[in-house]
Amino acid sequence: MFKKRMKRITPGQMIILSFATMIFIGACLLMLPFSTNDGKGAPFLDALFTSTSASCVTGLIMHDTAQYWSPFGQLIILILIQIGGMGVITMAILLFVLGGKKIGFKQRYFMQQSISAPKLGGIIRNTKWIIKATICVEALGAILLGIRFLPRFGLVKGLWYSIFHSISAFCNAGFDLMGTNQAYSSLTGYAGDILVSNVIAALIVLGGLGFFVWKDVVEYKHHLHKYSLQSKVVLFTTATLLIISTLYFFINDFSHWNMRLADQINVSIFQAVSPRTAGFNTIDLNKMNQSSIFFMTLLMLIGGSPQGTAGGFKTTTLAVLILSIRAVFNHKQNPQCFGRRISMDTLNNATALFMLFMVLFFTGTFLISAFDQLPILDALFEAASAIGTVGLTLGITPTLSSASHCILIFLMFFGRIGGLTLLLAISKHQVVANTNLPQENITIG
């Protein structure tokens, strides 16, 4: 009976089941006495919240990671971040490959849905490439961070801090170990450190771009006309958002702060990058003005790009919706992008996923605001941080009620698996994940 049910399971259901299983196992491990510094273990809700946040590469926390969790607990969190960032199914099938076991069609299909690959052919080869590239980027990030951390923390602790923050940044998780002296301080001690802040920012961007964008960049380099439509849309939208955000934060906020011009620019760049689902911050967010907080909320909702480690409703979805608006004003039947027509199926999927995302976001916001009597902007920020799998907070997440924590757990889980996966799981019919354009594909979920 069990085998028959497993044969009928859909890719969407498998992805949801794999993430839920990983979260539950992680929570059980974090409840062990030696997972916390006090030797008592974490309460179930605290462990479940932390495991969900790590597995869904979010970064929202109920306890400061350095002060509350033991080295073993921190290791469990890091493992959950790495597996969650790469995808549970991807990591599981990689173990099959390393073990020399044969990967069948169904496993390849599950893997394709897990990493949003444009086609089934070459899926194992592409997965191996993704794993190798990830290891190389994370290792390089750890080496660069070690230049600063090793002299400050010593060999063992400095090496651990370098590895932890490199993986956390690349996977867009936002967990940090800098709260030893001041809880929840994140990277505020490195606001003026060009090396640390820019290495973390670069890792965040690389992780959020998507693995198949990397392949185009590595293979075609500066020959942009050879890039896939997906890569062109991702790179253009990402660059546009980063430039606009940096200028906005600099003009509206940090240019008025009492710091050097170089530090103002550095902080503006970092805060433009971090809301793209990373969760690190180099300044106290509560000192920013309300308009900047609201703008950051919008950035968290957009998130990163498909096929990467980021959350949000994705840059490609935003691009398709904006292009459709332009098409309406230009009286065109179909939106166009870089000379290629975007099909109505792609537009319909983008609209449906965007609406589902926003309904859950606003519902979670209103419930959190009602349960904890929070100002609506504060509730909007925390809910956006959860569903966008960002991890930034105004400092209120640890103080929320159990009901609000459960809402954030659901929002983090949905934000990581994505609307398309949810539709694949509940639909009786096949939902088209990658809609064909002339000779190319674009992923909107």
Q: For 360-407, what is each residue's pLDDT tens digit?
A: 999 999 999 999 999 999 999 999 999 999 999 999 999 999 999 999
The CA distances from residue 6 to 10, 18, 167, in Å, are 9, 13, 33
228 vs 224: CA distance, rounded Å: 9
Instruction: Tell me the backbone φ, ψ of residue 221, rounded to 5 degrees.
Output: 55, -120
pLDDT of residue 96: 61
Q: Quick: pLDDT tens for 334-360.
A: 788 887 888 888 888 888 889 999 999
Question: How many distinct helices (H) and strands (E) make up the chain?
Answer: 18, 4
- Token digits for 166? 């490199």
Burial class (CB in 10 A: 0-12, 13-18, 19+), 267: buried
**Beta pairing partners, 171:** none
Low-confidence ranges of the chain (pLDDT < 70): 1-8, 11, 88-123, 419-445
Q: How far is residue 20 CA from its own chain's centroid?
A: 17
Prediction pTM value: 0.90
Is-contact 377 347, C-beta < 8 A? Answer: no
Q: Are 306 and 210 in contact (CB under 8 A)?
A: yes
C-alpha to C-alpha distance for 391 and 385, rounded to whole angstroms = 5
* Encoded amino acid at 249, one letter: F
User: What angle do the packed helices 123-153 and 194-209 form, to 10 degrees?
Assistant: 170
The H or E element containing residue 134 is helix 123-153
CA–CA separation, 241 vs 367, rounded Å? Answer: 30
Question: What does the pLDDT read at residue 438?
Answer: 37
d(CA 397, CA 408): 9
Lookup: tokens for 308: 């990467």
Contact, 211 vs 175, CB < 8 A?
no
DSSP assignments along 57-122, one per residue: T----SS-HHHHB-HHHHHHHHHHHHHHHH-HHHHHHHHHHHTTPPP-HHHHHHHHHHHT-S-STT
The candidate with the shortest Cα–Cα distance to 337, out of 356, 319, 359, is: 319
* DSSP strand pairing (340-341 vs 434-437): unpaired
Alpha carbon of 183 to those of 131, 177, 381: distances in Å?
Answer: 33, 9, 20
**Distance between CA atoms of 118 and 367, rounded to whole angstroms?**
37
Would you give the end-to-end CA distance of the chain in angstroms? 33
Q: Using CA atoms, how far apart are residues 148 and 144, in angstroms rounded to an integer?
A: 8
